[in-house]
Amino acid sequence: MNYEQTIEYLFSRLPMFHRIGAAAYKADLNNTLALMEFLNYPEKKFKTIHIAGTNGKGSCSHTIASIFQSAGYKTGLYTSPHLKDFRERIKINGGMISEEEVISFTERTKSFIEKVEPSFFEITVGMCFDYFAKQKVDVAVIETGLGGRLDSTNVIMPELSCITNISLDHTNLLGDTLEKIASEKAGIIKKNVPVVIGEITEIKSVFENKATEMNSSIVFADEQWQTKSVFQTENALHLTFFNAEKEFEIENQLGGFYQIKNSKTVLSCCEILKDNGWNISHEDILQGFKDVKNNTGLRGRWDILQNQPTVVADIAHNEAGIGAVLEQVSKTKFNQLHIVLGMVKDKDINKVLSLLPASAKYYFCQPDLPRALPVDDLHASAFLHKLIGDKYSSVQTALNSAKSIASEDDLILVMGSNFVVAEII
């Protein structure tokens, strides 16, 4: 098989959560454990950092990887989903896994795939671990896909665990309360492995109890750092954090005020890693923040695509994430707000719609995948929330319409799903 045939085989042969939703979710680690045995346990051959959370785990994963790169480490990075190219999921020092490696791995595991019938995510995790082991990375930053306890990535024994935050998302799979979701995410906390929690909420005790059970030291990042100043320029978010011992003046290449919390989380992770023997300097940390997009290729987080009018793409897709983006909008200067909006079926549509401003002009669309919420359904639900706009046959058509209507000093926001953003980046 060539690369295109290989990708088509993986996409069509294996159940993919991002395409079909819950039907692709495997609620145990049996397939992953069997795959690790088949591959001769690659997950044991390199050091890892494990990151979970409802929102922010992608930003934190990429930033920590960027800092390791700045410190001179050969750094693997595993994230999901991809935006444009499957190979975005598996990177070393910002470079994607080669097409040849994808082909070779798939051919090697074809007998396993056809016998065991794993999910797409399970095979992708196996590909990642196998590649990082072969390439002898110094460290790999591993982002969970969904949850934590039963996530396919949860077969590693990391140097550090990190949980960015908890909010309601994937409630049909992870539980319908914050406590239940937190318990699932806390499943990545391993015995004697330190853990960083990004935010303190009413479910703090869930993490404290799990850390005590695992004899793991625990740090809450927003307890550890105070904010001295925050301001945003066109190309960066400028942050100054301090505690009793030190101060960091950070130029974060990832825009958006919601990166304040993520940045504190990353700093707490770096402090523990330094204490545990990793050679990461103050300058490495600052450089990692400053070059995170350049080093890792991260896109879709308050991603400014053009000016006059300003077009911003953001992958926020749940209540908490969209709330954070709208807070950023409230601090941004513009004349009229235009929102290109598409979503997937398994989100709490009404909660998201209830957050959106009635004063915006809307351009409703649906991403091109089976899991997409039909644009007619989105339009009808939005009307009940007094959100007015037209329906469009594709994301690009909706964006083109917004661009043709918007004035130079307007803001066009493209949001609602990873897959909406993927179609226009």
CA distance 157 to 171: 27
Provide the terminal-to-terminal Cα distance of the chain, rounded to the nearest Å: 28
Within a domain: 342: yes
Within a domain: 243: no
Task: Please tell me what DSSP assigns to residue 340.
Answer: E
Token couple for 212: 């005590």
Residue 213 belongs to domain with CATH number: 3.40.1190.10
Instruction: Please list, in sequence order, all residues whose beta carbon lies within 8 angstroms of the beta carbon of residue 76, skipping any fewer than 6 positions away.
Output: 46, 65, 90, 91, 92, 128, 131, 132, 135, 137, 139, 140, 141
- The domain in which residue 37 lies consists of 3-224+260-280
Dihedral-angle region of residue 165 (phi above 0 means left; psi in -120 to 50 means alpha; beta otherwise): beta
pLDDT value of position 17:
42
Strands 226-232 and 237-242 come out as: antiparallel
Structural contact between residues 163 and 197, judged by C-beta atoms closer than 8 angstroms: yes
Within a domain: 214: yes
Task: Please tell me what DSSP assigns to residue 186.
Answer: G
Within a domain: 143: yes
Residue with tokens 């190979």: 87
- What is the pLDDT tens value at each position of the chain, 425 positions in all? 999 999 999 988 775 544 444 444 556 799 999 999 999 999 999 999 999 998 899 999 999 999 999 999 999 999 998 998 999 999 999 999 999 999 999 999 999 999 998 988 999 999 999 999 999 999 999 999 877 888 999 999 999 999 998 875 545 556 668 888 888 899 999 999 999 999 878 789 999 999 999 999 999 999 999 999 999 887 899 999 999 999 999 999 998 888 999 999 999 999 999 999 999 999 999 999 999 999 999 998 899 999 999 999 999 888 888 998 999 999 899 999 999 999 988 778 898 999 999 999 999 999 988 889 999 999 999 999 999 999 999 999 999 999 999 999 999 999 999 889 999 98
Within a domain: 238: no
Residue 368 belongs to domain with CATH number: 3.90.190.20
Residues 130 and 200 in one domain: yes
Q: In what order do the strands lie in the sheet with 303-306?
A: 303-306, 310-313, 411-415, 337-341, 361-364, 389-391
Residues 308 and 276 in one domain: no
Residues 123 and 161 in one domain: yes
Interior/surface letters 318-352, b for 16+ CB within 10 angstroms, e for the rest: bbbbbbbbbebbeebebeebbbbbbbbebbebeeb
Residue with tokens 């058509």: 397
Using DSSP's 3-state secondary structure scheme, residue 75 falls into strand
Residues 352 and 275 in one domain: no
| CA-CA-CA-CA torsion sign (324, 326, 330, 331) | positive
pLDDT value of position 169:
54
Residues 193 and 321 in one domain: no
How are the residues of the chain apportioned to helix, strand and coil, as percentages rounded to the nearest 5? 45, 20, 40
pLDDT value of position 422:
92
pLDDT value of position 235:
83
Residues 272 and 326 in one domain: no
Residues 44 and 188 in one domain: yes
Within a domain: 287: no
pTM for this one?
Answer: 0.91
Strands 237-242 and 247-252 come out as: antiparallel
Residue with tokens 């993927």: 422
Helix axis angle for 259-275 and 282-290, nearest 10°, is 150
Task: For 31-61, give the DSSP string.
Answer: HHHHHHHHTT-GGGSSEEEEEE-SSSHHHHH
Residues 326 and 274 in one domain: no
Strand (E) or helix (H) holding 245:
none
Residues 113 and 12 in one domain: yes
Total domains in the fold of the chain: 2
Residues 218 and 102 in one domain: yes
Within a domain: 65: yes
Backbone angles phi, psi at 242, to 5 degrees: -150, 160
Within a domain: 67: yes
Residues 405 and 360 in one domain: yes
Residues 320 and 414 in one domain: yes
